[in-house]
Amino acid sequence: MSQEQVQNDNKVMTKKLFVVVIIMVAFGFAMVPLYDVFCQITGLNGKVNGLAVYEEQEPDTSREIKIQFMTINKGNMPWDFRPVQTEIKVHPGKEYEVLFAVKNRTGKKMIGQAIPSFSPNLTAQYFNKTECFCFNQQILAAGESEEMPMRFFVDKDIPERYDTITLAYTLHNVTPDDEQVAAK
C-alpha cells in the first residue's frame, strides 16, 4: 500500500468518525424527546400530555380509589393555592370534577403555571383529565381570586395494587421580570 493510499484511507475514515460524532451529538439532544415519549407511555413524571375525552361508560363500582390532592407553592410564589377538596374517593370509569382555589394576595398582577406530579408516579397513565387549569397559565390581577376546575376519570384497567393516587400541583411564578417592574 502506497503512502498516498494510506493517507486517503485515513481521510475517509476520519470523515466517517466525525459523522458518528455528529450523530451522537444529535442523539444527546434526542434524549430529550425520547425521555418525554418514555414518560408519556409510562406516566413517569406525570407529564401525560393532552386532554382525554370521556366516553359514557359503566363505572366499576366494585373498586374505590382514594385521590389525594396536594398543592405546593414554589418559595417565590406568594399566591394562596389550595385544593377545595383535599381528598375524594372515586370509582374507576366515572367522571368527577374538583376545584382548586387560587388567590393573588399581592398588590400586582402576576402569572402562575401549575405543573402536575403523581405518586405513585406510574398511576399518571391511568389518570385522564378531561378539563384542567394546568394546561394554561393563570393570570391574576392584584387581589383577584378564582376557583379553577379540573375534571377527570380513572381508567378501569388501573392495576389492583393502586389504592391511593396523590396528585400534586406545584405552582410556579412565571411572571416576566419586566411586568413585575412595570407593576411597581
Nearer to another protein (CB atom), residue 29 or residue 62: 29
Nearer to another protein (CB atom), residue 125 or residue 128: 125
Closest CB 8 distance from another protein, rounded Å: 10
Closest CB 55 distance from another protein, rounded Å: 28
Closest CB 56 distance from another protein, rounded Å: 30
Residues in touch with another protein (CB under 8 A): 6, 9-10, 13-14, 17-18, 20-22, 24-25, 27-29, 31-32, 35, 39, 42, 44-47, 68, 70, 72-78, 82-87, 105-108, 113, 115, 117-122, 142-143, 161-164, 166, 168, 170, 172, 174, 177, 184
- CA torsion sign for 99, 105, 109, 111 is negative
d(CA 133, CA 136): 6
Strands of the chain, DSSP E: 65-73, 80-83, 87-90, 95-103, 110-119, 127-132, 138-140, 145-154, 164-173
Closest CB 31 distance from another protein, rounded Å: 5
d(CA 149, CA 71): 14
Local structure of 136: helix, strand or coil: coil
d(CA 46, CA 71): 15
Nearer to another protein (CB atom), residue 52 or residue 115: 115
